[in-house]
Amino acid sequence: MKNRIEEIRKERGVRQEEFAKALGVSRQTISSLENGRYNPSILLAYKIARYFEMAIEDVFCFDEEV
């Protein structure tokens, strides 16, 4: 699963530390999410989208194999 977290976060001028604190996770978790090394739980994905005031689908790109 790909995401736009780093792109959106930087556009809005939010530091990883600040973002992590708002979500209740570590800065390392944010780094792992941004680098594609970690897929968030549905709850964390929801919190991220809500933080940015966006739909989950606008933050995360799901590659569906048919």
Residue 48 domain flag: yes
Range of the domain at 25: 2-56
Q: How many domains does the chain have?
A: 1
Residue 25 domain flag: yes
**What pLDDT score was predicted for residue 17?**
98
Half-sphere exposure of 8 (CA within 13 A, CB side): 19
H or E stretch at 3: strand 2-3
Residue 41 domain flag: yes
Reading the block at residue 27, the tokens are 């800065």
Residue 20 domain flag: yes
Who has greater pLDDT, 30 or 61?
30
Residue 37 domain flag: yes
Structure confidence at residue 60 as a pLDDT band (50, 70, 90) = very high
Chain segment 17-57, per-residue pLDDT in tens: 999 999 999 999 999 999 999 999 999 999 999 999 999 99
Q: Which amino acid is at 53?
A: E
**What pLDDT score was predicted for residue 64?**
64
Residue 46 domain flag: yes
Residue 66 domain flag: no
**What pLDDT score was predicted for residue 66?**
47
